[in-house]
Structure 1
């Protein structure tokens, strides 16, 4: 009986750490992001705004489309022959 009480006490002590305060104020469960002091609440237009170049984003999108086309060719070749070949030009 003493062992069970001691085990329960140990488990309760360990479980208390799981409910410790982590210093965040959550708006909802899992939505706990807070800006650091001095960081603007709205990033757009501030010095932290990354100002992405539209051409660069379009170029990245084009390369993803090309990658997906190459992968489709690889899968097509795999289904036709039963062997995987990386270079399918």
Structure 2
């Protein structure tokens, strides 16, 4: 009984194998060997200067840099306190001046 069950699964796998192979990419649209990327329909080949070109707002970049600067200042304060006292305090507001 068990052999019939396994034989059925093998038969199904053999029958379905050509279906997967028929849908495989054949590489017909490759620009060069190994360079088979294609943009989706409606998406341009070149992004720069198109509506898909990301525009970075200088104000948003400045916000990120300000955040990084304040993080580094807090970390420097934590490290200085740790070197002086030997105790690590995460909350910078609890570090005595």
Interval of TM-score (by shorter of Structure 1 and Structure 2): 0.5 to 0.7
Matching of residues 21-32 of structure 1 within 5 Å: 25=34
Match of 2:57 among 53, 59, 62: 53
Instruction: Normalising by structure 2, report the TM-score.
Output: 0.50
How far residue 37 of structure 1 moved from its aligned partner, in angstroms, is 4.2
Superposed displacement of residue 35, structure 1: 5.3
Name the count of aligned residue pairs.
62
Q: Unpaired segments of 5 or more residues in structure 1? A: 1-22, 27-33
Distance 1:52 1:37 in 2: 24
**Structure-1-length-normalised TM-score:** 0.54
Q: Which consecutive unaligned segments of at least 5 residues does structure 2 have?
A: 1-26, 28-32
Q: CA RMSD in A?
A: 2.7
**TM alignment of 1:4-15, pairs within 5 A:** none
